[in-house]
Amino acid sequence: MQNNEAKILINKYKEGKATEEEIDLLLNWIQNFESVNDPDFSVAELESVSVEMWQHLSIKQSKKITRLWPRIAAAASILICLGAGAYLILKKHTPVRLAQNLVHDIAPGTGKAILKIGGGKTIILDSTSNGLIARQGNTSINKTNNGLVEYSTQTGAADKIIYDTLQVPAGAKICRLKLADGSQLVLNTATTLIFPERFIGNERKVELISGEAYFEVVHDLQMPFRVVNHDKVIEDLGTHFNISAYDGEPMITTLLEGSVKVANSTKSVILKPGQQSSIKSTSSNIAVKDADMEEAIAWKEGLFMFNNENLAGIMRQVSRWYNVDVVFKDQSLQNKLFSGSVSRFSNASQVLSKLALTGSVHFKITGRRIEVTK
């Protein structure tokens, strides 16, 4: 976003006319703003606007969830009672405490998604101009203005199947993909997907090597859509669903609409909307429970969201999103439970600060390493 566009959004926000999407966009721009000497903006102005918007988003998110980070609800009620003066006092002293532990900071979304075409060409998507980026036989690959990677095929004789690979490295922004059949996917960070440039035969099969992806599948009874992850298969029966299948973690499938069949080498289950299945790598059992769907796809909407999630699971997400190593100095901290939400456009320090509000866990950032201590 250019500075003149940011100026317009800041004025729009001050007038109370900015949408939630525009507020998120502006916050992301402020956090990645590099030239503090830019004549168009003062540091004080950007800090003031940023603080106001974070307050706005915190209030908005608190209405969506039933439980907040430990002690935040109490702190918020104290601030309301004491007024703006108390907020300024807390704001003044909190950074001093954090500065002792958070030596450095890490911004999100710095990595670049990579598309490897079957013919051998590698495309760095964030560095590629919009428009046609490749053509192979009857298949065209385009990048749209909103960053969607879109496959389309012309009618004609069927080509041989050519497989492409889309890699979203740790630390990269999410990537959106439209397959040749019209199905749309969103890939989370640290995700690798293999898929055909066009679908030929009696099935549509893609392989989720590792990572997380959200699927909106165009249903076709004559050509079922299947997602393969090692020995596990998720088959679309007319569906919107999310799959989390990171290495070393259970494969979790959450169904939002329609129906899917989840199967491994020994068992299978059919999920109903609102249900979630889990398959551990060490077990053949397929566990099914009611899902928190908002939490399951919060990553796609630009949020970290946790509902009684242990700190080990939270820090795995932090590790992937910011491309950092996480070290627990006290292993017992891995089992501490947290609930709440925070923007994924935040710097790492802002996410860790919310966790640190419990008073019983602390963090230290050094380079690309986060240490977790009591």
pLDDT at 78: 36
**Tokens 């299978």 appear where?**
268
| Strands of the sheet with 325-328, listed across from one edge | 325-328, 369-373, 362-366
For the question of whether the overall pTM of this predicted structure is more than 0.85, the answer is no
**CA nearest neighbour of 252 among 224, 292, 302, 219:** 292
Q: How far is CA 29 from CA 106, 175, 287, 350, in A?
A: 15, 19, 42, 15
The overall average pLDDT reported for the chain is 81
- Helices 3-14 and 43-62 pack at an angle, to 10 degrees, of 60
pLDDT at residue 316 tops 70: yes
Mean pLDDT (whole number) for 77-89 = 36
**CA nearest neighbour of 163 among 205, 222, 212, 124:** 205
pLDDT at 164: 96
pLDDT at residue 352 tops 80: yes
pLDDT at 13: 75
pLDDT at residue 328 tops 70: yes
Residue bearing the bigger pLDDT, 266 or 35: 266
pLDDT at 15: 75
Q: Which of 32-41, 82-91, 233-242, 266-275 has the lowest mean pLDDT?
A: 82-91
**Tokens 């889990």 appear where?**
278
Provide the CATH topology of domain 114-296. Jelly Rolls (2.60.120)
pLDDT at 281: 80
Phi first, then psi: give them for residue 355, nearest 5 degrees. -65, -35
Phi first, then psi: give them for residue 131, nearest 5 degrees. 110, -160
Per-residue model confidence as pLDDT tens digits over 123-180: 999 888 999 999 988 889 999 988 899 999 887 665 678 999 999 999 998 999 999 9
Hey, where are the domains in the chain?
A: 114-296
| Maximum pairwise Cα distance, the chain | 73
pLDDT at residue 44 tops 80: no
pLDDT at residue 261 tops 60: yes
User: What is the DSSP pairing of strand 369-373 with strand 325-328?
Assistant: parallel
Mean pLDDT (whole number) for 82-100 = 35
Mean pLDDT (whole number) for 314-337 = 95
pLDDT at 99: 38
Percentage of residues of the chain with pLDDT beyond 90: 51
pLDDT at 70: 40
CB 111 within 8 A of CB 323: yes
pLDDT at residue 26 tops 80: no
Q: How far apart (Å, rounded) are the C-alpha atoms in residues 72 and 353?
A: 11
CB 343 within 8 A of CB 335: no
Q: How far is CA 283 from CA 98, 235, 264, 279, 288, in A?
A: 42, 20, 10, 7, 14
Per-residue model confidence as pLDDT tens digits over 181-209: 999 999 999 999 999 999 988 999 999 99
